[in-house]
Chain A
Amino acid sequence: MKPFEVTNEPLEPARYMEYVTHSEAGAVTLFAGTVREWTNGKRTMYLEYEAYVPMAEKKLAEIGVEIKQKWPGSRVAIVHRIGALSISDIAVVIAVSSPHRKAAYEANEYAIEQIKKVVPIWKKEMWEDGEEWIGDQSYKPGSE
């Protein structure tokens, strides 16, 4: 298993929790992003994810490095699934361990926020009556 990975396979959160857990850690936060059925009154049938895989994995690993610098003593695993995902499937798993809980919460949230800004992964919402690629048109990575 790779700690920073984009994969077509279903994600198993427990593996990543295990990966970051160690004797110096006093807290582990485990985040799972799941496929939501209803968004702004529109019913999603399923989601289609795609990625620029080599770059996305590189960016995930960079987020891991940033987290270790910002929250010393932390360990991180971040994985994202691509392909067709059904309602309630897990799209992303972020596991962070740290000596104390505050850092584990903060670092975990930092990871998902960075994913949504800089990691080249896209989702398309498939509705009963149409489909659309989702993306914040106002944000350009690297413009901060």
Chain B
Amino acid sequence: MIHLHYFAGLKEVAGKASEDIQWTDGTVEDIVKWAADTYRAFDFSAVQVAVNEEYVLETESVKPGDHVAFIPPVSGG
């Protein structure tokens, strides 16, 4: 199981702020593929991923229990 977090436009497309999914092994890239497949109305091309609150590369592995956040381009300030 991993914990997924959605924000901004992706939260609206997903209709939820977070969810848990079954997960045994894989990389950030695999999860982005899963999310892009699941939420086709959202454009993931500019999305960055944070695992356990740190930005990571797509090659990073994701382990059960991790918190994975999809970070669309930020616009604070």
Contact = CB atoms under 8 A, between A and B. Distances in A.
> Are A and B genuine complex partners?
yes
Interface of A: 33, 49-52, 54-56, 58, 80, 91-92, 112, 115-124, 133-142
B73 A55 contact: no
Contact of B5 (A52, A134, A135, A142): A52
Given A52-B7, A135-B8, A123 B75 contact: yes
Contacts of A122: 7-8, 72, 74-76
Given A50-B8, A52-B69, A119 B74 contact: yes
Interface of B: 5, 7-9, 11, 45-46, 48, 50, 53-57, 69, 71-77
Contacts of B72: 122, 133, 135
22 contacts: A50-B11, A51-B76, A52-B69, A55-B50, A58-B53, A91-B77, A92-B77, A115-B77, A117-B74, A118-B74, A119-B76, A120-B71, A121-B75, A122-B72, A122-B76, A123-B75, A123-B76, A133-B9, A135-B46, A135-B75, A139-B73, A142-B48
A136 B46 CA distance: 9
Given A140-B46, A141-B48, A121 B74 contact: yes
Per DSSP, chain A at the interface is: mixed
List the 3 closest pairs (A to B, CB-CB), nearest first. Answer: A121-B76, A135-B73, A55-B53
A116 B8 contact: no
Nearest to B56: A142
Contacts of B9: 133
B73 A137 contact: yes
Contacts of B56: 142
A91 B76 CA distance: 8
A79 to B, nearest CB: 11
